[in-house]
Chain A
Amino acid sequence: MSVIYLLISISIIVAIVFFIAFVMAVKKGQYDDDYTPSVRMLFDDELKTKKQIKTNPEKQV
């Protein structure tokens, strides 16, 4: 049962790694705006490809 020393130590280390990732994310500002990403998710991407097709023939001319 003494393996429990090792097990718990490793799990604490893993937890700390994630914690550091969290702190880095906060410092980078990912938590500053929690509203806009929710709206941004809903925008469509298809229009981009339509536009590319449209502009290509123009470029050739």
Chain B
Amino acid sequence: MDTSQKCFHCGLEIKKSDLIVFEGKDFCCKGCQTVYEIFSSNDLGCYYDFENSPGATPLDIEGKYDFLDNDKILEKLLDFQEESTAVVSLTIPHIHCSSCIWILENLQRLESGIRSSMVNFNEKTVRITFHSDEVSLKKIVNLLSSIGYEPYISLENYETGTKKEDRSLTIKLGVAFFCFGNIMLLSFPEYFETNEFWIDQYKGFFRWLIFALSLPTFFYSASGYYISAYKSLRTRMLNIDIPIALGIVVMFVRSTVDIIMGYGQGFFDSLAGLIFFMLLGKMFQIKTYNFLSFERDFKSYFPIAVTKLSQGLEESVPVYDIVKGDRLLIRNQELIPVDGILLSAEATLDYSFVTGEANAIVKKSGDKVFAGGKQIGQIIEMQVLESVSQSYLTQLWSNDVFQKKVNQHFKTITDKISHYFTPILLLISFAGFGFWVYFDLNTAFNVFTAVLIVACPCALALTAPFTFGNILRILGKKKIYLKNALVIEQLAKVNTLVFDKTGTITTTEKATIDYQGQEISAQQEIWIKNSLRASNHPLSRMLYNFLPEAAFLNIDRFEEFVGKGIQTYFDGNKIVLGSSDFVENPQPSPVVETSIHIAINDVYIGKYVFKNAYRNGLSALFSSLSQKYELHILSGDNEGERRFLADFLPKNTQLVFNQKPEQKLEYIKTLQEKGRNVMMIGDGLNDAGALAQSNVGISVSENVNVFSPACDAILDASEFQNIGQFLKLSKQAIKIIKMSFALSLLYNVVGLAFAVTGNLLPLVAAIIMPLSTITIVSFVTVMSSIYARKLNLK
């Protein structure tokens, strides 16, 4: 039942109070409406024709890009500057669809000084050519920001290198194909008839031409394998490129000997074919992997929201929309998502996430604060220095400090196999050669090269990365962000689910709140609201959103007691909010309910009573989960909801209330000692210990910045009802890997059997080997996508 409207420009939901209607369309804010106006008055309405709601709200950047007036900086940023023409490449994170391409390539309509612009979609960059005497870079950047396409300008990062590498592979592939095709054509005459007079006449010409054509591909295209094999030999290891390099060299030498001595045609066609198909396989592999990891790093959802202060208003924005110069509000227990400068007087930061040390560090106003720290105590304001580096945060997350001691089952299999594979293979090939040399030298050589080429360990090594890579990408799109691929394996093994109540199965969005007690004056309400502002507890957030807008006050002192409440001081007034006991309620009521009690200056005032709203689809989710998993609900709240939950949820769900954080941890430990494999789903606040203890810890994020590093996955609250599907998908991922292992093992056994008995022509081996790589990679990628679609996850 979604009755809210979506903004025509950016597609986000519009709050009733903010609705702006212009030319018959709905907009969520003045920014979006302004961009629409710019577009429609410049005849650029086409922007909206390609995709629905392609826009982004333009951010306020007054004065932010003044540094672009500096000539030295301009020099660094511009790709080209000669007379009056300049070219610049800007990275624009918001590029995500064809509308973006369209508008960015039509910038000349918005600004006459721009001559042309070209978008590179995969890299999210736009290359703008402009007249530097008509328009400055600063003006262009301001223009881009005003239409919602603010560029990301970083003076430190200069990424080169990867581009050049890709190009060399393309050229190698081109060379290999050129040589392969021509060699095949020139080999045709000899295929058909070897005894005709005509052929004898011209044999030499053809053969030496073929030899000449094979040189580029042998020396240049295959060079990657030689280098890799040589490096591996130097370190006394045997990697999988050694058999390949050996096979190629042997083939070449043997074929050359053949044509010099006149024994035969040689095997240059197989050689060129082999090199070509293997490079093709490599390119396919790289492209698929780039696609998967690009999607994960740039397009997938890293569900941390931070509170941004713009023009005195607080708004919750996703972490990857933060840019330099933004002012952020960081609450107690919240993570500092980016490097920045502290604006508030003092901050106490816990960098255990980054350094592993739990000693809090005190910072003063003006100090630089680094990403990854957790604020303890007062709310602080900071100014952003860098945009968030999603990969940096993910790196921190994967820090050894937080690795659980899990069985890396599939990785070890792949490792073991690679270790033994090459020696065994070399053994078989030499044995085969040794065997056949007594019968027929020709066959002996054939067997030797065929064995070396047909056995493909790459399938075994590639299966796990590609399957997991694709699954991570699919899950990322569905707003569940996993720490790394190991989590998928763990998810598949889980048999017990433990849910937290508040904030996990209840939603902070829809609760109804009732006040009971003495009248609260306006001043007291302002105090209460400001106390709540500093706390990140779901109940605090709910109540904060419920109370009317109030001016911001400076807090003298703030303390949050986990599981109990918060205590704040304003100008000597003491505000205590929390549980009935914490507030020292003189008349505790026997009724059990979720509530926040208030005491101001040690006088009990009243309480806010919350009616919990449970998430959509909760009952259906639990019924389907109870068929395969043991379900538990652990709540820090009181028993008030027990009857309701007992009716609402399946019969054998365990309901435990009044759990302190340490008790939750103990509970999970007990389950594990009984041999259960436990997955904990919580909100990350007071479940941190339990999340760390469980085999898999998932933290449910509902627009809050609670990032507990102990969790293994972050799930956006809107996708909560799909937990069952995610678990199923992870199980199927393991199934896919097993199937693919079996396939490639089968393939290897059959191939080797043919090769050793002398029935496999090197040419056929040359084609089959890279084909197997391509098949396995496609197989796992396609299968995982199919399973995901079946589960309606796509």
Interface residues of A (CB under 8 A from B): 1, 4-5, 8, 12, 15, 19, 22-23, 26-27, 29, 31-36, 39-40, 42-44, 47, 50-51, 54
Q: Is the CB of A36 within 8 A of B182?
A: no
Which one, A19, A36, A47, contacts B120 given CB within 8 A? Answer: A36
Report the minimum CB–CB distance from B210 to chain A (whole Å).
11
Which one, A1, A26, A29, A33, contacts B122 given CB within 8 A? Answer: A33
Report the minimum CB–CB distance from A42 to chain B (whole Å).
8
CB-nearest residue of chain B relative to A43?
Answer: B102
Within the assembled complex, what's the spacing in Å between the Cα atoms of A39 and B120?
A: 11
Q: Is the interface of B mostly helix, strand, loop or mixed?
A: helix
B205 proximal to A (CB < 8 A):
yes
Report the minimum CB–CB distance from A13 to chain B (whole Å).
12
Q: Is the CB of B163 within 8 A of A32?
A: yes
B141 proximal to A (CB < 8 A):
no
**Given A22-B174, A43-B102, A44-B46: A12 and B182 interface contact (C-beta under 8 Å):** yes
Within the assembled complex, what's the spacing in Å between the Cα atoms of A12 and B216?
A: 14
Chain A residues with Cβ below 8 Å from B98 are: 39, 42
Which one, A8, A27, A40, A54, contacts B209 given CB within 8 A? Answer: A8
Q: Using an 8 Å CB-CB cutoff, how does the interface string of B151-191 with A read, 1 for contact, 0 for none?
A: 00000000000010011001100110010001000100000
Q: Is the CB of A54 within 8 A of B43?
A: yes
B60 proximal to A (CB < 8 A):
no
Within the assembled complex, what's the spacing in Å between the Cα atoms of A1 and B198?
A: 9
B134 proximal to A (CB < 8 A):
no
Name 6 interchain pairs, CB-CB below 8 A, sorted by A. A22-B178, A26-B167, A32-B167, A33-B121, A40-B119, A43-B105
Within the assembled complex, what's the spacing in Å between the Cα atoms of A12 and B167?
A: 25
B438 proximal to A (CB < 8 A):
no
Report the minimum CB–CB distance from A38 to chain B (whole Å).
9
Report the minimum CB–CB distance from B298 to chain A (whole Å).
14
Q: Is the interface of A mostly helix, strand, loop or mixed?
A: helix
Q: Is the CB of A19 within 8 A of B174?
A: yes
CB-nearest residue of chain A relative to B49?
Answer: A44
B254 proximal to A (CB < 8 A):
no
B202 proximal to A (CB < 8 A):
yes
Q: Is the CB of A50 within 8 A of B163?
A: no
Chain A residues with Cβ below 8 Å from B175 are: 19
Chain A residues with Cβ below 8 Å from B122 are: 33-36
B632 proximal to A (CB < 8 A):
no
Chain B residues with Cβ below 8 Å from A39 are: 98, 101, 121
Chain A residues with Cβ below 8 Å from B105 are: 40, 43
Q: Is the CB of B43 within 8 A of A19?
A: no
Chain B residues with Cβ below 8 Å from A32 are: 120, 163, 166-167
Within the assembled complex, what's the spacing in Å between the Cα atoms of A40 and B761?
A: 46
Q: Is the CB of A26 within 8 A of B101?
A: no
Q: Assuming A32-B166, A35-B122, what are 6 further A-B pairs, CB within 8 angstroms?
A: A15-B182, A19-B175, A36-B101, A36-B118, A40-B119, A51-B109
Q: Is the CB of B198 within 8 A of A26?
A: no
Report the minimum CB–CB distance from B787 to chain A (whole Å).
26
Which one, B123, B178, B198, B205, contacts A33 given CB within 8 A? Answer: B123
Q: Is the CB of B182 within 8 A of A47?
A: no
CB-nearest residue of chain A relative to B167?
Answer: A26
Within the assembled complex, what's the spacing in Å between the Cα atoms of A35 and B407?
A: 40
Within the assembled complex, what's the spacing in Å between the Cα atoms of A56 and B665?
A: 74
